[in-house]
């Protein structure tokens, strides 16, 4: 064999070995379009645009088969928390794909004990308000269970926060009293807590992921550097890290400015709280048809103004990803952000968890 033939043979062998290894790596990544396959850590990193598709599919394949017929949406967030409004919008987007019609809706304060046929599905708004911290919402759920014992009740994805075994045991006992209650937990910790003792418990991502991309197309004239989205309520961790950023804000709707884009909503809400005739229905209509979309617009414009986001709010993290921003997540006081990210987002390239 000539030297040229020998060199050609060696090159042919090397090329085929490399192609074989490349095919192996590609076959490992075939099901999910991962950006990086690390053979040492066995951890795959995925672009959020690809992960988003999987999250939406998980939501639809779990919930759409459960929602058959007409439905009533309870515990809607008629308030100024942009994160809860994003969840609400995702719920409404999913319902567009379901059979049946929305026959009514209410918030915690506008619920008026409507007559609902046993065939109507009652949907309970998702979020992070079931458990020990915000008892008024789970008490509202228990009221619905008592009023409508024959209706299917579906709790949209929630974070369930329990540190007291006694409260957990008591709540599970009450939840188990309804024979057609379906509970969606948005993290594995809550799923494990509830599924040990309850039937019909599902692990489902946050409903904000179901909002179409068309909601996030706003482009600012200029960017303002980095943002630390710092919550200022009881969920802020005592040892919360404080990154050095160009700007520090909570949601703009929480900054108590007179002209913050929701001035009219505040007036109508106040009149509704005074039980002035007709204003409760006016407030319900305004919240559903105007206020909801106004708050989403405010939230998107707020996040889009910055190049990089640090967030102690879960929906600051989610909205940043939906707006195609890189984001660093900081946990809240009881592990909500940490547990959610470990369940759904720990393989997302654009997200870093600061702990």
Q: What tens digit of pLDDT does each residue of 142-164 get?
A: 999 999 999 999 999 999 989 89
Q: pTM of the predicted model, to two decimals? A: 0.87
Least confident of 9-13, 70-74, 260-264: 9-13
Classify residue 214 by burial, with Cβ atoms within 10 Å: 0-12, 13-18, 19+: exposed
- Please give the pLDDT value at position 334: 82
Q: Residue 78 in contact with residue 125, Cβ under 8 Å?
A: no
Mean pLDDT value of segment 292-309: 96
Residue 104's nearest CA partner among 144, 49, 159 is 144
> What single-letter DSSP state applies at residue 179?
T
pLDDT over 80 (residue 179) = yes
Which H/E stretch holds residue 123?
strand 121-124
pLDDT over 70 (residue 41) = no
Instruction: Please give the share of the chain, as a percent, with pLDDT higher than 90.
Output: 70
pLDDT over 90 (residue 316) = yes
């Amino acid at each position: 064999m000539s030297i040229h033939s020998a060199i050609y043979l060696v090159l042919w062998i090397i090329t085929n070995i490399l192609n074989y290894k490349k095919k192996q790596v590609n076959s490992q990544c075939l099901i999910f379009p991962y950006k990086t396959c690390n053979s040492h850590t066995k951890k795959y990193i995925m672009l959020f645009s690809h992960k988003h598709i999987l999250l939406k599919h998980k939501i639809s394949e779990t919930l759409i088969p459960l929602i058959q017929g007409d439905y009533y949406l309870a515990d809607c967030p008629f308030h100024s928390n942009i994160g809860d409004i994003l969840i609400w919008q995702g719920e409404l987007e999913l319902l567009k794909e379901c059979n049946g019609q929305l026959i009514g809706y209410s918030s915690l304060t506008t619920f008026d004990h409507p007559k609902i046929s046993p065939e109507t599905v009652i949907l309970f708004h998702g979020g992070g308000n079931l458990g020990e911290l915000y008892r008024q919402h789970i008490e509202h759920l228990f009221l619905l269970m008592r009023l409508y014992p024959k209706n299917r009740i579906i709790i949209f994805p929630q974070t369930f926060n329990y540190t007291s075994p006694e409260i957990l045991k008591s709540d599970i006992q009450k939840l188990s009293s309804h024979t057609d209650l379906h509970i969606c937990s948005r993290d594995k910790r809550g799923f494990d807590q509830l599924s040990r003792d309850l039937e019909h418990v599902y692990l489902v991502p946050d409903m904000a992921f179901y909002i179409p991309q068309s909601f996030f197309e706003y482009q600012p004239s200029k960017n303002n550097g980095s943002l630390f989205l710092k919550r200022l309520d009881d969920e802020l961790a005592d040892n919360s890290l404080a990154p050095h950023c160009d700007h520090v804000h909570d949601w703009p709707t929480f900054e108590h400015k007179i002209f913050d884009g929701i001035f009219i909503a505040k007036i109508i809400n106040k009149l509704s709280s005074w039980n002035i005739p007709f204003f409760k229905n006016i407030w319900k209509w305004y919240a559903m048809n105007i206020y909801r979309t106004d708050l989403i617009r405010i939230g998107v414009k707020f996040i889009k103004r910055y190049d990089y986001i640090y967030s102690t709010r879960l929906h600051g993290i989610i909205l940043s990803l939906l707006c195609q921003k890189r984001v660093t997540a900081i946990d809240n006081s009881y592990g909500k952000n940490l547990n959610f990210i470990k369940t759904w987002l720990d393989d997302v390239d654009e997200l870093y968890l600061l702990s």
